[in-house]
């Protein structure tokens, strides 16, 4: 349902402002003539309802982008199920409940394409939610996010809160996490390709078969789309946000090698999991509202690599594959 909500002159809280998505939202909100509110973990632990209640009473946000979450790539999700489930359940529950109690006008919950069943028809439609078993490597994170989406729907129904849920596809960009054991594939391959180039290594190690298919969206495009949805979307069903285009991980690795200037081979480690065989979003609901992503994958990777060289690589010793 198209809606009209303005951020102008509002107090807008970006929960999770230091993360990949939160920092892109803070950048993009500079153009909206609103007051951006942020809270560090030292100020408020979002898992602690009392701390959050106090902060909400003092800060009085009118709109909330719920970008705070414990996130990570396939290895982190698979090996730290308790952290991923507990932290995300607690953070989402507390923020939604506090937003409802303190009269927040509008809240956007952010999820992920991994909430959809592992074998859901592709492209992934919003209606596929809860129609089949989840991907085992990230079911813990996915379940917490599904609970968060349903919580927003429940507050909407019972209390009339204008809480909406947007589901981004796999993301990348400046400010990403480049730690090899907890990162997603794009920052991992950028860091490994850069390191392999400097060491004149013969090969770049890529996890899995290289055949898994993924869609990638540049985080500044995402921030623009989320602000568009905050202003234009007001309904219970979740809404996908992506590019609608995917590619095999092997092709992504070849493209990243080219962007980084690594000329060696790709070596696939099939002892590492592929995860979901394919994840590409059906973006027809979003497109019908009149928004689409602008940055090509190559452009986005070039910007991300430049950010990595300027901000991370200079500070670091060589990465380990």
Per CB under 6 A, residues contacting ligand GFB are: 73-75, 77, 112, 114, 137-138, 141, 170, 183-185, 188-189, 206-208, 212, 214, 249, 272-276
CB of 20 to ligand GFB, least distance (A): 11
CB of 2 to ligand GFB, least distance (A): 28
56: closest CA among 43, 75, 74, 70? 43
Q: 297: which DSSP letter?
A: H
CB of 184 to ligand GFB, least distance (A): 3
| Burial class of 30 by CB neighbour count within 10 A (0 to 12, 13 to 18, 19+) | exposed
Cβ proximity of 186 and 176 under 8 Å: yes
Q: Which is nearer to ligand GFB, 7 or 185 (CB)?
A: 185
Cβ proximity of 246 and 279 under 8 Å: yes
Q: Which is nearer to ligand GFB, 232 or 267 (CB)?
A: 267
Which residue minimizes CB distance to ligand GFB? 73
The single residue of 75, 116, 141, 172 carrying the catalytic annotation is 141
CA max distance for the chain: 61
Is residue 155 among the annotated active site residues?
no
Q: Which is nearer to ligand GFB, 27 or 267 (CB)?
A: 267
- Return all residues near 178 (Cβ < 8 A) that are at least 6 apart: 187, 188, 190, 191, 308, 312
Give counts: helices (H), strands (E), the chain.
Answer: 10, 12
Q: Which is nearer to ligand GFB, 95 or 188 (CB)?
A: 188
CB of 204 to ligand GFB, least distance (A): 9
Q: Which is nearer to ligand GFB, 264 or 273 (CB)?
A: 273
Whole-angstrom Cα distance, residue 64 to residue 105?
Answer: 8
- Return all residues near 237 (Cβ < 8 A) that are at least 6 apart: 126
Q: Is the dihedral of CA 225, 230, 233, 234 positive or negative?
A: positive
Q: What's the CA angle centered on 60, arms 57 and 61, to 5 degrees?
A: 135
- Return all residues near 58 (Cβ < 8 A) that are at least 6 apart: none
Q: Which is nearer to ligand GFB, 98 or 219 (CB)?
A: 219
CB of 173 to ligand GFB, least distance (A): 13
CB of 119 to ligand GFB, least distance (A): 15
Q: What one-character-per-residue DSSP string does 83-134 give?
A: HHHHHHHHHHHHHHHHHHHTT-SEEEEE--GGGS-TT--SSBPGGGTTSSPP
Provide the annotated active-site residues: 141
């Amino acid at each position: 349902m198209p809606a009209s909500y303005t951020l102008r002159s509002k107090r807008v809280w970006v929960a999770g402002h230091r993360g990949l998505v939160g920092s892109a939202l803070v950048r993009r909100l500079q153009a909206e003539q609103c007051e951006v509110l942020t809270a560090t973990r030292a100020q408020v632990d979002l898992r602690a309802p009392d701390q959050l209640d106090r902060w909400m009473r003092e800060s009085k946000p009118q709109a909330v982008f719920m970008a705070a979450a414990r996130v990570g790539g396939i290895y982190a999700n698979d090996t730290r199920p308790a952290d991923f489930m507990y932290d995300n359940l607690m953070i989402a529950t507390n923020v939604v409940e506090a937003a409802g109690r303190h009269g927040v006008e509008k809240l956007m919950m952010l999820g992920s394409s991994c909430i959809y069943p592992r074998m859901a028809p592709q492209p992934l439609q919003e209606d596929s939610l809860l129609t089949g078993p989840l991907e085992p490597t990230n079911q813990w994170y996915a379940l917490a996010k599904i609970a968060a989406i349903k919580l927003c729907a429940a507050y909407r129904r019972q209390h009339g809160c204008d809480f909406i849920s947007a589901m981004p596809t796999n993301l990348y960009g400046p400010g990403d996490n480049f730690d090899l054991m907890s990162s997603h594939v794009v920052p991992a391959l950028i860091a490994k390709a850069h390191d392999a180039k400097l060491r004149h290594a013969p090969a770049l190690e890529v996890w899995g078969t290289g055949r898994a298919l993924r869609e990638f969206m540049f985080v500044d495009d995402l921030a623009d789309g989320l602000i568009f949805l905050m202003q234009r979307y007001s309904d219970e069903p979740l809404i996908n946000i992506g590019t609608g285009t995917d590619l095999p991980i092997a092709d992504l690795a070849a493209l990243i090698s080219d962007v980084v200037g690594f000329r060696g081979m790709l070596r696939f480690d099939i002892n590492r999991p592929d995860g979901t065989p394919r994840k590409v979003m059906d973006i027809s609901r979003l497109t019908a509202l009149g928004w689409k992503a602008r940055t090509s994958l190559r452009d986005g990777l070039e910007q991300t690599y430049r950010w990595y060289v300027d901000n991370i690589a200079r500070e670091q010793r060589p990465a380990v594959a």
